[in-house]
Amino acid sequence: MDVSVGLWLVTVAIFVVVIVLDLLIADRRPHVLSIRESVSWIAFYVSLAAIFAVLVGWLTGWQYAQQFVGGYLTEFSLSVDNLFVFLVLLTSFAVPEELRHRILMLGIVIALILRFGLIVLGAAIIERFSAVFFIFGAFLLWTAAQVYRHRSDTPTVRQNPLFRAVTRVIPTTEAYSGSRFFVRQGGNLLATPLFVVILAIGTTDLLFALDSIPAIYGLTEEPFIVFTANAFALLGLRQLFFLISGLARRLVYLPLGLTFILGFIGVKLLLHAGHETFPQAQVPEIPVTVSLGVIVGALAVTVIASLQSSRHLRAGEKEQ
């Protein structure tokens, strides 16, 4: 695939314009996205990806358009794992709803920069870091246990263990100050919890990218396809986050669903680490299709059980 420097520059410029416009809209009217808005944004970004696929096919060849579509669907599926970890992160940090749009967009900018660096390194080098998934998988299992343990608690910034760890190194306030990352108090420059959240999301992005970049290299060896498929998948995923987050406020059994999903992702990453680190042991891996099916199934059970519980509660209130 012969991609000129001009096409690279135009593509990156388009992504920059879309991200800047999105941030300007979010900053001009900070608010909690409704389910209808989330669905509209998802349709918008999926349409952009479809238009881009047609352009790629027209300009470079339809086989590359097929590679882009395959890579886009793969990255979107793999990135669903990120979505639930982000949901736990933003909830555990008690991030105000109106700031979540900006945080996730900045998280996407960080993810794109990190993933571009990994794409330059290539899949072969990335796979040498597979052992890190032992740590990440174990951390997700611990996180799942914490979600279950504190399922009835109202989260606060002070409760978050990562926040407490960072405050030992960086002077930090416990209160959010709008969309600012740093504030001055008593002549001292202090980080806000928002800064810690961005650090957490950036680290999570990097760890998940170590898993997803080699996966798409199995479909195509073209860096241009790998990068654009990642970019479009991340942009659409952010809107999916708000759709599920909006539904989450109505789901009484969401903590139990999240416990299962995070535990499943943790086991999946441990198996992946074992498969890559000890090839002679022939450790099985969980395919992407199975992983997506389990997550969607767990969500469906959570939604159905929550709706049934809400109906029983309303029926009981009417009888009284």
Task: Give the pTM.
Answer: 0.69
pLDDT at 50: 92
pLDDT of amino acid 150: 67
Q: Is the pLDDT of residue 197 over 90?
A: no
pLDDT over 80 (residue 305): yes
pLDDT given for residue 51 in this prediction = 93
| Banded pLDDT at 249 (limits 50, 70, 90) | low
User: What pLDDT digit, counting tens, does each position of 220-233 carry?
Assistant: 778 888 889 888 88
Q: Report which of residues 320 and 274 the model is more confident about.
A: 274
CB within 8 Å of 106: residues ≥ 6 apart: 23, 198, 201
Helix orientation angle between 132-149 and 62-92, rounded to the nearest 10 degrees: 50
pLDDT at 129 over 80: no
